[in-house]
Copies of this chain bind each other. A is one copy, B any other.
Amino acid sequence: MSIENLLSEGIKLTPPSFVRGILKAASDPEVISFAGGLPNPVSFPQEELLESMERIVKTYGSKVFQYSVTAGLPELRQYIADRYHRKFGLNLTMDNVIITTGSQQALDLIGKVFLDKGDRIIVEKPTYLAAIQAFSLHQPYFCPVELTEEGLNLKQLEEALQHNVKFIYTIPEFQNPTGLTYSAENRNRIYEMLKDRDVVLIEDDPYGELRFEGEHLPYIGAGRLPNSILLGTFSKTVTPGMRIGFIISGNTELLRCLSIAKEAGDLHTNIFAQYLIWDYLANNDLDGHIAKIRALYQKQAQAMLDAMDRYFPDTVSYTRPRGGMFLWVTLPEGVSAMSMFRKALEKKVAFVPGDPFYTDVKGANTMRLNYTNADCETIEEGIRRLGNLLKELC
């Protein structure tokens, strides 16, 4: 008896993650991996988190171990509301915030709350591979809109909006996979296009606090579009292992629906982890901590760019991110990064080929490189190996 006949259509159409599929190969200690998206572990405030653990167990006792409410710890939600008011000018109360089990769960909840089979959604081309996964379960019709150095291709966006579209999924700051950031002008044009339309704008912002160059740009929809959702996380600023992300929206009816979906999904996020992150934030200087992470990642990004300038052939181009964790390499047309992948692994260097970041491209001539999880010497050596391979192939 095969299980095949019993499976849902959705799961059959959901691609396994390329990144997670190669974790084993990439974790060979001899391989220099630019494939993952791991924060640098030196950025985890381990001592401070241990202090917070001891404090919350002593202070709150059984509360940090018991079942809890679905929307999340009120104190943590209030902290997030206050921080986004102070730093980004959003007028929020804790009722505008739901804690999620990592940002990934937010994508899962969004899929559940909006998507029936065949519904249209607009995504960047390329876009975050795990968002493609989360939405694919619901069998939507993906409408990819090209991402440029300025942001979304506005002509393509306008065309895509001629149909009924449920939502637009964007990562406007230091996008995953490209490292690109939408310009202020592009953001405004998108806002103007959407403000009278019945469509949800999702701004996924896991990297916004990791800007190491230039000024923070205003959100596209957060704080001004009525059907707007902003996603955030403590994975890149405190610790990813605790799986604490959050959804912000001015639309409380929408949050009510997301909350029902969350209730059905995991009842609530680990309450110990919520107390822990909140206590850490209340007792430490988050901005000072983030400043250190930024300085570290700027150095590592620069090391990668310097090495690429040195070792990559002229036929290869790449983005120059002003923050975040990734950059994006474009090979000459016709060169498949996917078929290069195995050869690179033989040379003991790993990356993610472009394919899994597209909903409609195979054999893409693009690849994503992560620079946050290796020191500068290792980055230089890895890029040298990759450069040698590129010189052979391009």
Residues of chain A at the chain B interface (Cβ within 8 Å): 1-11, 14, 16-17, 20, 23, 36-39, 41-42, 44, 46, 49-50, 53-54, 57, 61-62, 64-70, 101-102, 104-105, 107-108, 112-117, 119, 130, 133-134, 136-138, 166-167, 198-200, 226-227, 235, 239-243, 251, 253-254, 257, 260-261, 263-273
Contact = CB atoms under 8 A, between A and B. Distances in A.
A266 B65 CA distance: 21
Nearest to A21: B263
B267 A104 contact: yes
A29 to B, nearest CB: 15
- How many copies the complex holds: the figure is 2
Given A1-B198, A112-B137, 15 more contacts: A3-B200, A3-B254, A10-B112, A11-B260, A14-B260, A20-B263, A46-B65, A65-B242, A67-B240, A67-B241, A101-B101, A104-B267, A117-B117, A130-B263, A134-B265
Contacts of A8: 112-116, 119, 138
In order of increasing CB-CB distance, the 3 nearest A-B pairs are A41-B62, A133-B264, A65-B239
Given A10-B112, A241-B66, A270-B273, A263 B5 contact: no
A164 to B, nearest CB: 9
A117 B118 CA distance: 13
Contacts of A115: 8
A3 B177 CA distance: 30
B16 A41 contact: no
B50 A57 contact: yes
Contacts of A2: 253
Nearest to A45: B65
A48 to B, nearest CB: 11
Contacts of A137: 112, 261, 264
B273 A5 contact: no
A166 B66 CA distance: 34
A1 B61 CA distance: 45
B36 A3 contact: no
Contact of A227 (B1, B10, B102): B1
B253 A266 contact: no
A101 B198 contact: no
A281 to B, nearest CB: 15
12 contacts: A3-B200, A3-B253, A3-B254, A5-B198, A14-B261, A38-B67, A44-B62, A46-B57, A50-B57, A65-B242, A105-B266, A239-B272
